[in-house]
Amino acid sequence: MTEFLIAPSILSADFARLGEEVDNVLKAGADVVHFDVMDNHYVPNLTIGPMVCKALRDYGITAPIDVHLMVKPVDRLIPDFAKAGASIITFHPEASEHIDRTLQLIRDNGCKAGLVLNPATPLSYLDHVMDKLDVILLMSVNPGFGGQSFIPSTLDKLRLVKQRIDDSPYDIRLQIDGGVKTDNIGEIAAAGADMFVAGSAIFNQPDYKVVIDEMRKELAK
């Protein structure tokens, strides 16, 4: 059976106490730290960069850090994030001049690589790079902010991508990001996702373990 991974998006964490927040959410049962990087150019918001990733490593965070780059241009941040301790780096293909080169650059820097498709971005971006992907991330909201509602058409898109992965010889994670909650995570998993980003659903609750346990219960159904 597929191992389901829960990846809290720290965008909804309390940034004034970030190390402690990440520690707490991992102790509550999270698998991966989802690290949203926004540049006020590719998306209309501004967040955190490699220094903060390194600060989390220095604080003692050893779990995988999944860096979701919502930046343009992409390439020059990749070596910096790799040095700062990133484990996975994903980017939006429209933000890269040379998608194949960027994917290779991520792997050459020792990280797992992935493409992120926005709700209206076509699947054709996957056509010639499946062999260079460790992760495909489907956005189920338009990127830029936490706390938005899941866009239902993403479920069909998930099924299509899941089929592509199953038809390929590659071992590729299918990640979903945006509006994931305890009440929809079951149908999202049924559509093919195996890695779930959730920001507001986890960090807006007082007890992270309660939410993560509920998510796992839904995933076990």
| Interaction pattern, residues 60-99, with ligand DX5; x per rule: CB under 6 A | --------x-------------------------------
CA-closest candidate to residue 161, choices 185, 182, 133:
133
Q: How many residues bind Zn ion (CB under 5 A)?
A: 3
Cβ partners under 8 Å of residue 180, min gap 6: 140, 150, 188, 196, 197, 198, 201
| Interaction pattern, residues 18-57, with Zn ion; x per rule: CB under 5 A | ------------------x---------------------
Of 198, 211, 212, 219, the residue at the interface with ligand DX5 (CB under 6 A) is: 198
Q: Is 179 annotated as contributing to ligand binding?
A: yes
The window from 23-31, 61-69, 78-86, 211-219 that contacts Zn ion (CB under 5 A) reads 61-69
Q: Can 127 be counted among the known catalytic residues?
A: no
CA-closest candidate to residue 157, choices 133, 178, 183:
178
Cβ partners under 8 Å of residue 128, min gap 6: 100
To which residue do tokens 């998510």 refer? 215
To which residue do tokens 């309390």 refer? 14
Integer Cα distance of 86 and 166 in angstroms: 27
Q: Can 207 be counted among the known catalytic residues?
A: no
DSSP 2: P
Shortest reach from residue 82's CB to ligand DX5, in Å:
20
Active site residues: 36, 177
- Contact positions vs ligand DX5 (CB under 6 A): 9, 11-12, 34, 36, 68, 141, 143-144, 146-148, 177-180, 197-201
